[in-house]
Amino acid sequence: MQIRELSIPDAYEITPQQHQDDRGLFFEFYRFDRLEEAVGHSLDLKQGNTSVSRRGSVRGIHFADIPPSQAKYVMCPRGAVLDFAIDIRVGSPTFGSWDSVLLDDVDRKAIYVSEGIGHCFVALTDDATVSYLVNDVYNPTREHGINPLDAEIGLEFPVPAEELLLSPKDTEAPGLSEAAASGLLPTWEAARAFYATLNDKK
């Protein structure tokens, strides 16, 4: 398993080593100890989620209040999605920037998105199945969104604009500047302080 940090601090791409023979293949899609080495603490699993999406479906940009927010370990066991980590932490050196990882059933990569980072993906195939492990249960009162089509962020979707499918909740979400002005976004300082408390507990 190889783990590398993306251009967004505290977001990581995980590439498993696949072992194949006449029967098929085997790989480790999650290793708490390897993730802890990279991140500084293990992922305290509290919930697992799965979505199945039509091609062109966009889910996100989503995030939760910090603390405790929600760290996510995301994989795509069927089909393909382009997965985005968006730095929405006010004061971060990469605030407003994003990076992406292709998740599919060929390379079987995963992405780890730390607390306070925005998360979004677009389905590149029909029946794209995304499963993710999170460190806190869903709490609708603490969940928020940013419009994934916000020009200021400028996510690049490899699907024609007329084929994108978004929920009303996501299309009605504020843009990055509006969310920042309203105090909705986490701060870099709060995020780093929270990560430090997690590192101290390991």
Q: How does pLDDT run across 13-31, given as a tens digit for each residue?
A: 999 999 999 999 999 999 9
Percent of the chain at pLDDT > 70 equals: 100
Given a contact cutoff of 8 angstroms between Cβ atoms, the answer to whether 70 and 118 are in contact is no
Please report which confidence band the pLDDT of residue 35 belongs to, taking 50, 70 and 90 as the band edges.
very high
**Which of the 8 DSSP states describes residue 1?**
-
pLDDT at 201: 78
Question: Of the residues 12, 73, 112, 132, which is catalytic?
Answer: 132
Q: Mean pLDDT score of the chain, rounded to an integer?
A: 96
Distance separating alpha carbons of residues 199 and 187, to the nearest angstrom: 19
57 DSSP β-pair partners: 165
Question: Of the residues 41, 62, 119, 195, which is catalytic?
Answer: 62
Distance separating alpha carbons of residues 129 and 52, to the nearest angstrom: 4
pLDDT at 202: 62
Longest dimension (CA), the chain: 57
User: Does pLDDT of 81 surpass 80?
Assistant: yes
Mean pLDDT, residues 102-124: 98
Please report which confidence band the pLDDT of residue 75 belongs to, taking 50, 70 and 90 as the band edges.
very high
Per the listing, tokens 């590439």 go with: 15
User: Does pLDDT of 173 surpass 70?
Assistant: yes
Tell me the Ramachandran region of residue 107: left when phi exceeds 0, alpha when psi lies from -120 to 50, beta otherwise.
alpha
Domain range 2-201, its CATH number among 3.90.226.10, 3.40.50.2300, 2.60.120.10, 1.10.240.10: 2.60.120.10
**Number of CB atoms found within 10 A of residue 17's CB:** 10
Mean pLDDT, residues 159-183: 97
Residue 9: both structure tokens together: 């601090």
**Among 5-9, 41-45, 111-115, whose mean pLDDT is lowest?**
41-45
Mean pLDDT, residues 32-36: 96
Mean pLDDT, residues 74-84: 98
Active site residue 132: yes
What is the chain's length?
202
Amino acid (one-letter) located at 175: G
pLDDT at 200: 85
Sign of CA dihedral 106, 155, 7, 129: negative
